[in-house]
Amino acid sequence: MSLEGGFLDLINQNRDWEESGRRLLRILQEVKERVGESSMRITEEGEVFLHPDASRILHEPGNEGPLEFLRCIERTGMAKDWK
């Protein structure tokens, strides 16, 4: 693999990851606007709890990227830093 090919693969992976994060935020915002309450709650320990509607949407086909993005946030402990 050439350096350019590897670099382009890395850029594309980052672009996909960024889009997954943006899609996750859109899903959470859409649910929040529809139900009138927070669609996600994060405890002080970093545990993430989703509104049932948000969970249902994230588990629909085609939302694997946003769901994996959320799981990565939970695994790395980043969620406890969110306000």
DSSP state string for 21-65: HHHHHHHHHHHHHHHSS-SEEE-TT--EEE-HHHHHHHTSTT-HH
Residue 39 structural domain: 3-81
pLDDT in tens, 49-62: 999 999 999 999 99
d(CA 66, CA 22): 8
Per the structure, how many domains does the chain have? 1
pTM above 0.85, yes or no: no
- Hey, what are 33's tokens? 């606007």
23: amino acid identity, one letter? R
pLDDT value, residue 10: 67
d(CA 76, CA 59): 21
pLDDT value, residue 1: 42
pLDDT value, residue 15: 86
- Hey, what are 67's tokens? 């769901």
